[in-house]
Structure 1
Amino acid sequence: MYDLLSGLTVIEGSAFVAAPLGGMTLAQLGANVIRFDPIGGGMDFKRWPLDKKGNSLYWSGLNKGKKSITINIRKEEGRDLIKSLICAPGPENGIFLTNHPPGGPLNFNDLKSKRKDLIMLNILGSHDGTPAVDYTINCALGYPMATGPRNSENPVNHLLPAWDLVTGSMAATGILAAERRRNRSGKGELVNLALSDVGIWVASALGHIAESALLGRSREADGNHIYGAFGHDFVTKDNCRIMLTALTKAQWKRLKTAMKIENAVVDLENKYNTDLDDEGSRYEFRDAIVSLIEPFVSQNDYYTIKVILDDNGVLWGPYQTFDELVKKDPRCSEANPLIQKIFQKGLGEFPAAGLPLRFQELEEQPLKPAPSLGEHTDEVISNILGLPDHIISDFHDRGIIA
């Protein structure tokens, strides 16, 4: 964590992945991110995976460094409290991050009437406001049809909620851009960010849309090959699986040397009058290259292959389970400054990742765990709204806050 955004307050009303990730990104940059939830917790509070006591690892993962308040949103007084927090005066207040459906009690026009320079970033499913989640967006983008075994007609969904993750990071970027504009012009902004738009934006950036529009074709599933270059998985003698790649001419040269296939590659080039130093040609002859490499890998155990690959500077990686990542990979240990041990109330101590950004001239702050549900309710209402203790106690007694 860093203190780059210290003083900046962001009120977060969220669920799922994208909005909480955006808020956590800002919190780990030093912003005062305050997440509000219903009394007793919303849908994220018990979202899987859970520990044996029913504590959500999801909650602890996506809310590190935030403050938590719980308010009875169904009561008008509760909604008024949230509105007051969102529209609190001061140059570093008045920022709201949410994925709540537009048009509800916390809609932009209503909030703007209370603070004209309000910044609100609203994450939507689709640009027209229709609901969608990562998994209903992903299936429509074409990626599941281009994932899986070659010649398969069945789609393959992936575990990673990619569009949520990109959207969350873009939400943080959007808030910082809007805040910069407000500092310069004094004007607020409603920023809409749709999951479907993010997915289409990525598909456009990677050439999939142009490939369809200009060439009249869709990318097809091709197993574990890397499109347009050379990369594939291989199994060692002791049944460990690795990924080998050669994207550049230099990487290709190292791979040929390590696998002792230089002469076989020359024969292949001569036979088909091709130059496999060319990245596209390596993709075109990917199956032939795999057949050259497979015997060498399959005849050696993992450790032997690892030494050979490392000694020759080959670009490669092992296939691992999450458990293997945590227990065996030094990149996921305290040997990497990214990883710190945190103590999470209810869960205990475990390793967690801080912000991947490494500012070389800034001192990094200790990683803060996720808050307990409602841990900061009284503190936030007192500090931001300036309400006295007896009013806060009355809110508790009447079930407005907890």
Structure 2
Amino acid sequence: MVTTDRSNPSGAQSTQTTPLAGLQVIELSSFVAAPLGGMTLAQLGAEVIRIDPIGGGPDQHRWPITNDGASLYWAGLNKGKRSVTVDLRAEPGRDLVRQLVGSCAPGTAVVVTNSAGQDWLSYDELRRYQADLIHVQVHGHSDGTPAVDYTVNAEMGFPLVTGPANHADPVNHVLPAWDIACGLYVATGVAAATRHRELTGEGCKLTIALSDVALAMAGNLGMLAEAEVTKVQRPRIGNYLYGSFARDFSSVDGRRFMVVALTRRHWRDLLTVTETQVAVSALEDALGVDFSREDDRYEYREALAGLFDRWFSRCTSAEVEAALSATALLWAPYRTFTDVVAHLGTSAGKNPIVEQIDQPGIGSYLSPGSPLVQDGRPVRARPAPLLGTDTYPVLTERLGLQREELSRLRSAGVLPEQ
């Protein structure tokens, strides 16, 4: 099957059949979750048209940025999409969005948005233009009140179990985990709803709240049940692993490594590589415990780590890497983002989902495609569009607007200057 990728500005064809080829997504979004959902759908083959206000929304200049002020954040979360800008405060601009939804072929229309309090973007309103519409609304909280990842994380308890033991203040994680999970739920929900529409001919309304994603995972991982059933207030334990054994260790030349021993084989290999079998056996006898059990290893983690520390502190980082590579242990060196970029440029670090792309407005740099690899073929990264660059082509292709009408809308301030 040959599919035409309309989200590819070159219009090139691909002989690779993508799972969501033919799906047409209209995205009105900001922050992380909804844009990530849209980009994931684009990587799965959907045509995604991102619509922003003229001049851009809140993400247009969000950090990180280049020295010239171009947003690397925008470029990273909008790969493979098309960009349309209209005056979303004016009724003619809103009507263009409605018409774009209505222009989708039957059985293909999807709207993804996290815009709050916009009745004209609601499922009930837009389904008037596309009866079998799949509509995804991302909220902060399930009652519609706003929230972002960092506030959700705070109210869900995670910052109070993150960080070094006995640290008094909350420690927020720099990774927006709930945004990421929410964005992937968006894509999963659309894929499931698409299957439902194929079978029944019916669209559907999907809603997802960022706080519910965090709540669900806190429950799925047993954290809420632990607090309720066992009455245990989980402690801060730094870089140890709760309920098992893992910790960071430093080599003699100052490199740090994270080492994880989850299974009995891991544990045996850790004792062998650190030459601590005799010492650990003596500690077991003295304490009357069995360190092949995860809970015993966790309870006496600090004493055990002290034994392993001696080996790491005598070895260079090269010696540590060579020794750990010969075991079944789970381990990794700590790297900065700069280290990661350098590692990707080596033969050992080369990754097939990452390649150089030429990003308009920024230049050439390494960028990942989709982590989902289809039939052994990575989905290649495609640049993000410049803001509004597809406005006139999309309105011409999708709505059939002619030069005179486009000129009139531009003069009225509904469309941007070309």
Confirm or deny a common fold (TM above 0.5): yes
Q: Which residue of 1 aligns with 2:48?
A: 33
Distance 1:312 1:89, change over 3 A: closer
Query: In the alignment, is residue 397 of structure 1 matched against residue 411 of structure 2?
Result: yes
Q: Which residue of 1 aligns with 2:372?
A: 357
User: With CA pairs under 8 Å and 6+ residues apart, which has the higher RCO, 1 or 2?
Assistant: 1
Q: Please say if residues 87 and 414 of structure 2, whose CA atoms lie closer than 8 Å, have aligned partners that are also in contact.
A: yes
Q: What amino acid is aligned across from residue 382 of structure 1 in structure 2?
A: T
Q: Which residue of 1 aligns with 2:385?
A: 371
Alignment RMSD (CA, Å)? 1.7
Alignment equivalent of 1:142, drawn from 157, 161, 173: 157
Percentage of pairs with the same residue: 42
Alignment equivalent of 2:227, drawn from 180, 196, 212: 212
- How many pairs does the alignment contain? 401
Match of 2:367, SS state, is strand
Match of 2:179, SS state, is helix
| More off after superposition, 132-141 vs 322-331 | 322-331
Q: Please say if residues 3 and 365 of structure 1, whose CA atoms lie closer than 8 Å, have aligned partners that are also in contact.
A: no
CA distance in 1: counterparts of 2:293 and 2:329, whole angstroms: 17
Match of 1:105, SS state, is helix
Q: Please say if residues 373 and 379 of structure 2, whose CA atoms lie closer than 8 Å, have aligned partners that are also in contact.
A: no
Q: Please say if residues 7 and 92 of structure 1, whose CA atoms lie closer than 8 Å, have aligned partners that are also in contact.
A: no
Match of 1:350, SS state, is strand
Query: In the alignment, is residue 280 of structure 1 matched against residue 295 of structure 2?
Result: yes
Q: What amino acid is aligned across from residue 18 of structure 1 in structure 2?
A: A
Q: Alpha-carbon deviations, 1:34-67, whole Å to 9, x = none?
A: 0000111111111111111110000110000000
Q: What amino acid is aligned across from residue 267 of structure 1 in structure 2?
A: A
Q: Please say if residues 258 and 314 of structure 1, whose CA atoms lie closer than 8 Å, have aligned partners that are also in contact.
A: no
CA distance in 1: counterparts of 2:360 and 2:225, whole angstroms: 50
Query: In the alignment, is residue 387 of structure 1 matched against residue 401 of structure 2?
Result: yes
Q: How does 1:236-247 map to 2 (within 5 A)?
A: 236-247=251-262
Q: How does 1:154-303 map to 2 (within 5 A)?
A: 154-303=169-318
Q: How many angstroms does 1:233 deviate by?
A: 0.7
CA distance in 1: counterparts of 2:374 and 2:395, whole angstroms: 33
Q: Alpha-carbon deviations, 1:326-353, whole Å to 9, x = none?
A: 1125689882111111001111100001
Q: Which residue of 2 aligns with 1:64?
A: 79
CA distance in 1: counterparts of 2:321 and 2:379, whole angstroms: 36
Q: How many angstroms does 1:32 deviate by?
A: 0.2
Q: Alpha-carbon deviations, 1:219-271, whole Å to 9, x = none?
A: 11111101111000111111111111100111111111110011111111111
Alignment equivalent of 2:27, drawn from 1, 9, 12: 12
Match of 1:30, SS state, is coil
Query: In the alignment, is residue 317 of structure 1 matched against residue 332 of structure 2?
Result: yes
Q: Please say if residues 144 and 156 of structure 1, whose CA atoms lie closer than 8 Å, have aligned partners that are also in contact.
A: yes
Q: Which residue of 1 aligns with 2:354?
A: 339
Query: In the alignment, is residue 129 of structure 1 matched against residue 144 of structure 2?
Result: yes
CA distance in 1: counterparts of 2:67 and 2:83, whole angstroms: 23
Q: How does 1:72-91 map to 2 (within 5 A)?
A: 72-91=87-106
TM-score scaled by structure 1? 0.96
Q: How many angstroms does 1:111 deviate by?
A: 1.4
Q: How many angstroms does 1:317 deviate by?
A: 0.7
CA distance in 2: counterparts of 1:245 and 1:171, whole angstroms: 32
Q: How many angstroms does 1:282 deviate by?
A: 1.0
Query: In the alignment, is residue 101 of structure 1 matched against residue 116 of structure 2?
Result: yes
Q: Please say if residues 101 and 129 of structure 2, whose CA atoms lie closer than 8 Å, have aligned partners that are also in contact.
A: no
Q: Please say if residues 36 and 70 of structure 1, whose CA atoms lie closer than 8 Å, have aligned partners that are also in contact.
A: yes
Q: How many angstroms does 1:359 deviate by?
A: 1.6
Q: How many angstroms does 1:103 deviate by?
A: 4.3
CA distance in 2: counterparts of 1:368 and 1:89, whole angstroms: 23
CA distance in 2: counterparts of 1:332 and 1:391, whole angstroms: 54
Match of 2:119, SS state, is coil
| More off after superposition, 184-193 vs 347-356 | 184-193
Q: Please say if residues 330 and 336 of structure 1, whose CA atoms lie closer than 8 Å, have aligned partners that are also in contact.
A: no
CA distance in 1: counterparts of 2:73 and 2:244, whole angstroms: 36
CA distance in 2: counterparts of 1:348 and 1:292, whole angstroms: 50
Distance 1:331 1:142, change over 3 A: farther
Q: What amino acid is aligned across from residue 392 of structure 1 in structure 2?
A: L
| More off after superposition, 158-167 vs 326-335 | 326-335
Match of 1:396, SS state, is helix
Q: What amino acid is aligned across from residue 414 of structure 2 in structure 1?
A: I
CA distance in 2: counterparts of 1:154 and 1:355, whole angstroms: 37
CA distance in 2: counterparts of 1:396 and 1:103, whole angstroms: 24
CA distance in 2: counterparts of 1:102 and 1:176, whole angstroms: 26
Q: Which residue of 1 aligns with 2:3?
A: none
Instruction: For structure 2, list consecutive stretches of 5 or more residues without a partner in the other structure.
Output: 1-15
Q: Please say if residues 333 and 351 of structure 1, whose CA atoms lie closer than 8 Å, have aligned partners that are also in contact.
A: no
